[in-house]
């Protein structure tokens, strides 16, 4: 084994159907996917794997030596989802096959529906990683925690006192509407970074690198199903991989931002804001108003390409108060019913009847300029989104 051999972690997820609504993956579908991965491990295609779920999303966590975007690994994940879908259909599960937008695999799973986060690196003598998996939200939900982990010294003490991190980190930010990316450096470009990532529906942190040596520190899935499919298909519930310790933020610095249940877009019908609730695997199911949005964190050691673990990091009393606060926020928001800001703005809603309602009412709208006292300028909706 060469010392420079790189290990790849691939986390690939899809909603291929669930039990009793969009609530929870059925164990038999996890078993079907596990069989496919076990066979691939036997053949030496992957080194190790862990299959789990968060809410209605089936999660494949794999290690191998084939690099990111490997057609062989993507095809393997595709086949695992296909087999799981067969079982979902046999069982009559809800929305069986939902996220598999294509009938055929064509070399890369990205753009076909499933979400993908992958990174490769030369393993350190001990390599701790955390895999985060969220349900009922979108990739930009990780913007705020990633900012705190890699750019906020009030969260991450190491940015100030660990010489290996003191130069800071670089953030690769994707504009998911226009398909462009930009790299911004912290701390020197913090305000520019925040100006973008504070709009998490559009600007998504895709990767984080350590500035000192450009080592990969974090990667997020960035697929937005509604943008891929052109219409609402399902929520693009995101996954993220973060490396911890020895020159990266400590495990506890990485988990700390999740003690604040910040508001994310998603929840019921992908059309509401709600608090992101950190939970252990046993609570990784979306019940109340199809939520609230949940996030699970699994810790692993990666050793000679093997996944050792996991440990279920949010299954801890230290997050009880966060969960209680999240429930209080959920109660408070729910009382707004169909009103913003609980309901998302019209541009972000996954379900809407607004065009039909406007169409039906078009002949009943009458001029009301005298009521306003001015002649309004008709503006396009994007121009309505804030002062220019």
Q: Does 57 bind Mg ion (CB under 5 A)?
A: yes
User: Least separation, in Å, of the C-beta of 84 and ligand F6R?
Assistant: 17
- Return the number of the residue (21 or 346) whose C-beta is nearest ligand F6R: 21
Site for Mg ion in 236-255 (CB under 5 A): 237
- Return the number of the residue (223 or 256) whose C-beta is nearest Mg ion: 223
- Return the number of the residue (176 or 186) whose C-beta is nearest ligand F6R: 176
CB contact at 8 A, 69 and 86:
no
CB contact at 8 A, 60 and 33:
yes
Q: CB under 8 Å to 191, separation ≥6 — which residues?
A: none
Q: Does 56 bind Mg ion (CB under 5 A)?
A: yes
User: Least separation, in Å, of the C-beta of 261 and ligand F6R?
Assistant: 18
The entry of ligand F6R, Mg ion, none near residue 13 (CB within 5 to 8 angstroms by kind) is none
Q: Which x/- pattern over 96-135 shows residues binding Mg ion (rule: CB under 5 A)?
A: ---------------------------------------x
Site for Mg ion in 12-31 (CB under 5 A): 15, 22
User: Least separation, in Å, of the C-beta of 6 and ligand F6R?
Assistant: 35
User: Least separation, in Å, of the C-beta of 136 and Mg ion?
Assistant: 6
- Return the number of the residue (47 or 272) whose C-beta is nearest ligand F6R: 272
The entry of Mg ion, ligand F6R, none near residue 253 (CB within 5 to 8 angstroms by kind) is none
User: Least separation, in Å, of the C-beta of 223 and Mg ion?
Assistant: 12
What is the CA angle 311-317-320, rounded to 5? 120
| Cis peptide bond prior to 231, omega within 30° of 0 | no
Q: Does 256 bind Mg ion (CB under 5 A)?
A: no
Active site members? 15, 232, 235
Cα–Cα dist 135/287, whole Å: 11
Q: CB under 8 Å to 129, separation ≥6 — which residues?
A: 9, 241, 242, 243, 244, 299, 300, 301, 302
Q: What is the dihedral of CA 45, 62, 71, 54, to 10 degrees?
A: 140
The DSSP string of 153-214 is TTT-THHHH-TTTTT-EEEEEEETTTTEEEEEEETTTHHHHHHHHTSTTTEEEEEEEETTT-
Q: Residues in the site for Mg ion, rule: CB under 5 A?
A: 15, 22, 55-57, 135, 234, 237
């Amino acid at each position: 084994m060469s010392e420079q051999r790189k290990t790849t972690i691939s986390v690939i997820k899809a909603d291929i159907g669930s039990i009793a609504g969009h609530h929870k993956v059925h164990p038999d579908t996890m078993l079907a996917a596990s069989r496919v991965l076990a066979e691939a491990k036997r053949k030496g295609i992957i080194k190790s794997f862990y299959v789990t779920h968060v809410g209605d999303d089936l999660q494949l966590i794999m290690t191998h030596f084939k690099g990111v975007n490997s057609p062989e690994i993507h095809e393997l994940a595709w086949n695992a989802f296909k087999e799981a879908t067969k079982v979902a259909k046999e069982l009559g599960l809800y929305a069986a096959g939902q996220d598999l937008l294509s009938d055929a695999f064509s070399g890369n799973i990205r753009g076909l529906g499933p979400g993908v986060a992958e990174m490769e690196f030369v393993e350190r003598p001990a390599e701790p990683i955390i895999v985060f998996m969220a349900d009922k939200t979108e990739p930009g939900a990780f913007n705020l925690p990633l900012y705190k982990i890699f750019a906020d010294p009030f969260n991450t003490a190491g940015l100030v006192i660990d010489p290996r991190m003191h130069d800071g980190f670089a953030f690769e930010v994707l504009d998911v509407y226009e398909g462009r990316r930009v790299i911004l450096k912290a701390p020197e470009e913090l305000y520019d970074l925040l100006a973008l990532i504070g709009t998490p529906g559009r600007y998504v942190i895709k990767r984080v690198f350590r500035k000192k040596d450009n080592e990969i520190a974090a990667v997020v899935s960035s697929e937005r199903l509604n943008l891929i499919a052109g219409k609402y298909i399902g929520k693009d519930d995101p996954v993220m991989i973060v490396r911890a310790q020895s020159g990266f933020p400590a495990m506890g610095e990485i988990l700390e931002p999740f003690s604040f249940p910040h508001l994310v877009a998603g929840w019921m019908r992908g059309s509401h804001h709600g608090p992101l609730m950190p939970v252990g695997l046993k609570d990784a199911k979306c019940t109340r108003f199809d939520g609230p949005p949940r996030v699970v964190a699994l810790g692993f050691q990666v050793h000679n390409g093997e996944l050792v673990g996991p440990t279920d990091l949010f299954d801890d009393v230290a997050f009880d108060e966060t969960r209680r606060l999240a429930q209080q926020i959920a109660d408070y928001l729910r009382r707004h019913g169909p009103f913003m800001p609980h309901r998302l703005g019209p541009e972000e809603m996954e379900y809407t009847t607004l065009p039909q309602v406007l169409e039906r009412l078009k002949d009943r709208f009458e001029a009301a300029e005298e009521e306003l006292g001015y002649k309004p300028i008709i503006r396009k909706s994007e121009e309505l989104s804030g002062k220019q």
